[in-house]
Chains A and B, each alone.
Chain A
Amino acid sequence: MRHLLSIEQLSKTEIESILDRAESFAEVGRRDIKKVPTLRGRTVVTLFYEASTRTSSSFELAAKRLSADLVSVKAAGSSVDKGESLKDTVATLSAYDPAAIVLRHPYAGAAQLVAQWADAAVVNAGDGKHEHPSQALLDVYTLRRRLGSLEGKRIWIVGDVLHSRVARSNLIAFKAMGAELTVCGPPALIPRGLEQLGCEVEHSLERLGEADVVYALRLQRERMNESFVPSIREYAAHFQIDSRRLGPRQLLMHPGPVNRGVELSGEVIDSPQSLIAEQVASGLVVRMAILYELLATGDQGPAPVAGNGQAAPIGQPA
């Protein structure tokens, strides 16, 4: 794996190999000294053109735990404010000879362009409404830990699918792992032709009881100004996941940040069925595994995996 630009590029085996490695990093996280020397002397650049808490902090911490030198660039306050193009910014940062560039950008395909321009390995940390592959990997990781396997599991993705890169990447990843997908939301927020990605489309939560996992998406408050939904109240009445709609055996996920009282009611967020906090914890180890996979295993595809799902020994560059 040279870059991580999309979930679409990964096979099931490649996904599993990254997740297996994340398991072994979870073990490192339980040590007193949570750091391994794998990327010592190498540089990781995070370049964020959009606000982010979880993704940027977990990539930064992941790079540090792997002993890489880290350069964090936020578009606000950088030369981007002065009108520098993406191409020129990447050329500037490339002068530091980074091993990896982690990019968050408001437009689809930005990471792919950077991969054409830079020698570094490129990680897509979210491009427009297109893909968010590291989120999908951490979500599969979280579910796999809880359920063992996603094979045959019924997952409902509920909410504003139209504007969600998480929905798109997760659809592809969950399907690759054998799950059955249903997407549910108001008609104007479900893109036309989505069913051709291999999912069912519903506009009502009536059959939500069939789901093993409910994955709720954030509804941005400004959507009602564009007539996607008439009001937040009406949206919540029809699509909010609350304790009445969520059955006791169903698991609940959300990529964050949550709009309490809009897509989720307060009590389900804090319920034992909620995996939301676990998702955040998974983010760190999965992002360590992604950087490791790209930078420490060469270009030979999936890294060797030792018996029973444990990744090969870590701590030395391969």
Chain B
Amino acid sequence: MSESRLQMRTGESASLVLRGATVLDPVAGIDARHDIVVRDGVIAELTAPGEANADGIEEIDAGALHAFPAFFDPHVHLRTPGQEHKEDIETGARSAAAGGYCGVLAMANTEPPVSTPADVEALLADARAAAAVKVGFLATVTRAMEGEELTEMASLRDVGAAGFSDDGLPIRSARVLRRALQYQRLCGGTIALHEEDPELSGAGVMHEGPVSAALGLEGIPSVSESTMIARDAALAGYEGGRIHVQHLSATESVEAVRAAKAAGVQISCEASPHHLCLTDEEVRSLDPQRFKMNPPLRSEADRQALIEGLRDGTIECIATDHAPHAPEEKEVPFEQAAMGVTGLETAFAALHTELVLPGTIELGLLVERLAGGAAPFGVERPSLSPGSEANIALCDLSARWTVGEDGYESRSSNSWCAGKELTGRVLMTLAGGQVAYRLRSFSMGVAA
């Protein structure tokens, strides 16, 4: 059912054997070395290492590698239609594949915004023609993202909208959001919310705190986010609606979501790799290319609260908020620069380097949360259990690489990791039963 809301290019189904990989799928309870046999795009079996019968299909020596369920990102910007100079469906999906993702959900704040059934149909057709991984499209909650009138939500769902979001902007009016939650009973579709009170954020460009005070930059207070989450959680609870809070950044926000969950609200939420790895101290560099985004990088205490939320399940998924921008929008003073950073190609490697290697979180938790964005939108979670469609991220956890030195699959280069040396790299991705990505230098020698 929900899978028709995600589309990708149809190609050759993969048939191959990953020999001796360390296979880790915490949800399926798999954590051991196996040969993974993929036949016709399906995981046919997991055998003891070296025991699978290849039967003439490609064999890959994965003895030093890890195989995870491929990741799912519920929050990316593919900039199509209207801003294809930043990203399009082909480059964005390739970028996702290079990061180990088998599926992504694209936001609707394009030019013009995705607000009509025809828009959604055209995008799904584009994805069928060009996407290396499964791509779903959210439609806007309000017409043209103006925050006033609802879109034709039921018709949008009928043609395949994966959910609804005015991401990029909050829904200012509590009345409008309430009407959307009421209408959701008719058509389904999770409403994803960019939570920010524009009155409190003002013209802010970074987190409000000692660093913004030192730099003379207008701050965005943490409560700009958390007060809106509290409002919208109350509305969702009252209407029995289903909401997903995007890109949590602050301690108070984690607390607001935790409280709503405890009260029984149908609410899920996400945190981004950059908010989990960086703080507002980075902004002292005044480098908008890597460190300007909305919500802004916040304090170390906020970062720790996000990590705690990830651990205790308050935050069920990691979403990159992959936001490509053209160089001329970023090669300007900090206050003038566009908000957003790219993240699909580096999410796993960055979080592995910054959180798993130092022992802050377990590898299994990271793998679980990187695919945790599927369920809130009714998408089946990628699994390595035999019989599942092949959605696999094959990674070398000891590979060290410098981000950007070989360019990017994305059309844009505003990566928050640019120039960083990371440990852990995706070598190959299977998505929807097809080989979506192979690192160019990853030799595909047939095992003897």
Contact = CB atoms under 8 A, between A and B. Distances in A.
A193 B333 CA distance: 23
A133 to B, nearest CB: 13
A112 interface: yes
B333 A191 contact: no
B327 to A, nearest CB: 10
Contacts of A192: 208-210, 212-213, 219, 221
B212 A127 contact: no
A113 B209 contact: no
B214 A107 contact: no
B217 A130 contact: yes
Interface of A: 85-87, 105, 107-110, 112-113, 127-131, 164-165, 168, 191-194, 196-197
A66 to B, nearest CB: 29
A131 B208 CA distance: 18
Q: Which residue, A128, A129, A197, has most C-beta atoms of chain B within 10 A?
A: A128
A132 to B, nearest CB: 10
Nearest to B209: A193
A191 B212 contact: yes
A168 B212 CA distance: 11
A112 B215 CA distance: 13
Q: Which residue, A107, A109, A194, has most C-beta atoms of chain B within 10 A?
A: A109
Given A168-B216, A196-B210, 4 more contacts: A107-B335, A110-B333, A191-B213, A197-B210
B213 A197 contact: yes
Interface in B183-237: 208-217, 219, 221
> For chain A, what secondary structure do more than half of its interface residues adopt (helix, strand, loop), or is it mixed?
mixed
Given A168-B214, A192-B209, A194-B213, A85 B286 contact: no
A191 B215 CA distance: 10
B interface, size bucket:
20 to 34
9 contacts: A85-B332, A105-B333, A107-B334, A109-B334, A113-B331, A113-B332, A192-B219, A193-B211, A193-B213
Contacts of A109: 286, 333-334
Given A109-B286, A112-B286, A128 B335 contact: yes
Contacts of A113: 331-333
B155 interface: no
A156 B212 CA distance: 21
Contact of A129 (B208, B209, B216, B286): B216
A105 B286 CA distance: 14
Interface in B274-294: 286
Nearest to A172: B214
Nearest to B284: A8
A165 B213 CA distance: 11
A125 to B, nearest CB: 14
Nearest to B214: A197
A197 B212 CA distance: 11
A122 to B, nearest CB: 13
Contacts of A108: 215-217, 286, 333-335
B333 A107 contact: yes
Contacts of A129: 216-217
A129 B217 CA distance: 7
Contact of A165 (B211, B216, B334): B216
A179 B219 CA distance: 28
B87 to A, nearest CB: 22
B328 interface: yes
Given A108-B217, A168-B214, A194-B213, A128 B332 contact: no
A160 to B, nearest CB: 12
Q: Which residue, A131, A191, A194, has most C-beta atoms of chain B within 10 A?
A: A191
Q: Which residue, A192, A193, A197, has most C-beta atoms of chain B within 10 A?
A: A193
B328 A193 contact: no
B219 A191 contact: yes
Contacts of B336: 107
